[in-house]
Structure 1
């Protein structure tokens, strides 16, 4: 089975020709074809194949250490922004490196080009090179975010869910103590994910062409608007992983022209819109957001800098 993927939908990624100064040559769908994920229905392996975990004590085989790990990210990708937000909110920028792939791809997958700079760790021109180094002949999905271990020279994880949790919980020695995944809120965060994940995070890109997905999405917005009527955050009165997961989808809502511009604006949900703008005013959210990488110039965007009511 072949499933075509778009950058905004899956943020996913064979080795291609290099351009000047070690960069990949420009995106060229006419020559190389469009990116696809080829999956054998009988293959039981997960889409996100690398699932290593970082632990503070090293019991997983990957100890939390400053300077050891690097994140390959993409500005355009909501799943990747979850990770860069955790790094910024916990002030781990000097502990974990981050670099960005180019914002477009062809069949060769995500690449390093002049727009966002080279791969500062390995000098790879394509992100697939990291996967091939880890698993020669790799035939799966190459995605951002990807966690690279400088010590072992391999990909540890491209599982954005567990990766975000590990960054939030296992680097306490170097963190500012933000505690975005506290033990007392984990059950509530999981409960929120059980309906926000399918309806919003994975439903928003289906809503343009699927009436059922549209109805589910807008019902979720109504439910969230009610929940936020008397609360600044989704869980426990504090900023948490639940807010990070939701916000990266809210900021991309209606940002592309593929029918999403015909959906109602967030301002139709005043509490949800105020919540989204309130979070955007936090430095970590602004620093990890580049609207130009996931919005269509033809789509009129709201003013995220307007101050919400207290």
Structure 2
């Protein structure tokens, strides 16, 4: 049985079908990239898996359990973690306190949180920070960290819930090439060690092709391609969607630009 099984997933906004009958599976220990140009339905699909947005139709099963109709909080308690495009940490709190807060929430021991969180789960919080290479910074405030280090702390926070499935929304957004490759190499190692399934959206094609085990591509709400790096890179439908064939597109746009290895669909801006 697949860890995550999405079947016939659709979501309409009025007469617009943002996601149209999308199906895919994700195995434990696998990184699956969700790709597509602006308006493809990536964010809508992502948010339905997380429970933030109810589907119009379809099924989302985690280890065989239906998630449709459940609240995000309940889905999180089943073992679905998430990181965000803009890192979500408490800047005024220390690195250690951020992870301790996540551990307190996991154990549902929030009474008197602000008075006692600092004395709870210290060893486990330190262990999580060591896993992501942030143990030496445990007592620093998150607000003074470099952005790449904040993303590492966010990963430790997500791991505090011992997730089966991790949803990562643009995990390397805003990071320099060296930082993003270090973060994804770390993620790949942890995913393999702990048998976590990862569904992630990403604009940096160097990251996608280097670290994703499989990829699925959406266009106008529909699933148009799925497979490994070679399959996706050579798929004519993907080339059409990303680079176009008309005069308004750059037909020879490279997958890796010189500045940072990030390729975007011609004429497109940031992912929605």
Structure number with greater CO (CA < 8 Å, separation at least 6) is 2
TM-score (norm. length: structure 2): 0.30
Q: Which has the higher strand share?
A: 2
